[in-house]
Amino acid sequence: MIRAVLDAISLWAIPVLLVGIPLAGIIRKVKVYDVFIDGAKEGFDVAVKIIPFLVGILVAIGMFRGSGAMAMLTDAIRPILSAVNFPPELFPLGVMRSLSGSGSLAMTTDIVKTYGPDSFLARAAATMYGSSETTFYVLAVYFGAVGVKKTRHAVPTALVGDIVAAIATVAICGWMFL
């Protein structure tokens, strides 16, 4: 039921917004087309302004992934994870989730295929993917768009949030599915 409502919202939200916003404008006597063009002009500049920030971040992450450093990190930390009951299979995904959207999607799909879609690990991996965002991509795009270079406490805040979400994922999935 709730699912059906949410699905309907996801399906209709964009077309309704695309008509609803100009409709509100017409009612308020706004010259909707002129105003639209005026705002839309900024689109290209904003997208282009993001390029240097995104290239910088994604290249560093691409090099890190390519080198095999991720696998080394996982191996080094495996004993600690086992000691605190964090499934070692999920750790690389936890790290990758903050770094790369496509990388973590590939990892999640791989876990789902390897352990079966209704296994604890598959559900925990899917929950981990769905409950967080690609932190460094988000930071690069949004701060890049306005040219902010000194990000103050944004990175530590986001990383603590990611760690908490990963731990919460394992705890909740363990409680629900084990």
Q: Which of residues 122-161 bind another protein (CB under 8 A)?
A: 122-123, 126-133, 135, 138-139, 141-143, 145-158, 160-161
Give the nearer residue to another protein in terms of CB position, either 81 or 120. 120
Decide: 32 and 25 in contact? Cβ < 8 Å.
yes
Decide: 130 and 120 in contact? Cβ < 8 Å.
no
Residue 103, CB half-sphere, CA atoms under 13 Å: how many?
Answer: 22
Q: CA-to-CA distance for 3 and 124, rounded, in angstroms?
A: 20
Q: CA-to-CA distance for 70 and 64, rounded, in angstroms?
A: 7
The enclosing H or E element of 114 equals: helix 101-115
Q: Quick check: 118 binds another protein (CB under 8 A)?
A: yes
Decide: 102 and 139 in contact? Cβ < 8 Å.
no
Q: CA-to-CA distance for 149 and 1, rounded, in angstroms?
A: 45
Q: Quick check: 17 binds another protein (CB under 8 A)?
A: yes
Give the nearer residue to another protein in terms of CB position, either 88 or 174. 174
**Span of 23-31, 77-85, 87-95 interacting with another protein by CB under 8 A:** 23-31
Decide: 137 and 61 in contact? Cβ < 8 Å.
no
Q: Quick check: 106 binds another protein (CB under 8 A)?
A: no
Kindly tell me which residue out of 58, 74, 78, 81 binds another protein, with binding defined by CB under 8 A: 58
Shortest Cβ distance from residue 116 to another protein (Å)?
8
Q: Quick check: 81 binds another protein (CB under 8 A)?
A: no
Q: Quick check: 121 binds another protein (CB under 8 A)?
A: no
Per-residue mark of binding to another protein, 36-55 (x: CB under 8 A): xxxxxxxxxxxxxxxx--xx
Give the nearer residue to another protein in terms of CB position, either 88 or 143. 143
Give the nearer residue to another protein in terms of CB position, either 38 or 82. 38
